Amino acid sequence: MGEEHALMSDLSALIEHLCAKRADLVRTMAASPRQVSDEQIRNLAALQTAFLAVEAEMRRAEREVLHEEVQERTSSIPYQNA
């Protein structure tokens, strides 16, 4: 499970990095809205796409960790034939 936590930590750092880059780009675009280039729009779309992909991977990793925790907890409960 340590690997999943490390992966989630890496994904969190990547999300923070992507958000910072996106915020910088949006700030630049907002400063000169009439001079927004096609390249800036493509870059913003690429950052947003990357962000969504990383966020989806983060959710998948979180679900996997939760699933493993549930499996560990339920396997330690003794079966009682009632």
Mean pLDDT confidence for 73-79: 78
Q: What is the pLDDT of residue 28?
A: 96
Q: Which band of pLDDT confidence, cut at 50, 70 and 90, is reported for residue 80?
A: low
* CA torsion, ordered 67, 71, 72, 73, to nearest 10 deg: 100
Residue with tokens 């994904």: 11
Mean pLDDT confidence for 20-49: 96
Statement: residue 15 has pLDDT above 90: yes
- How many of the other CB atoms lie within 10 Å of CB of 20? 10
C-alpha 26: how far from its chain's center? 20
User: What does the block give as tokens for 40?
Assistant: 């800036």
Over residues 50-60, the pLDDT tens digits come to: 999 999 999 99
User: What does the block give as tokens for 68?
Assistant: 């493993």
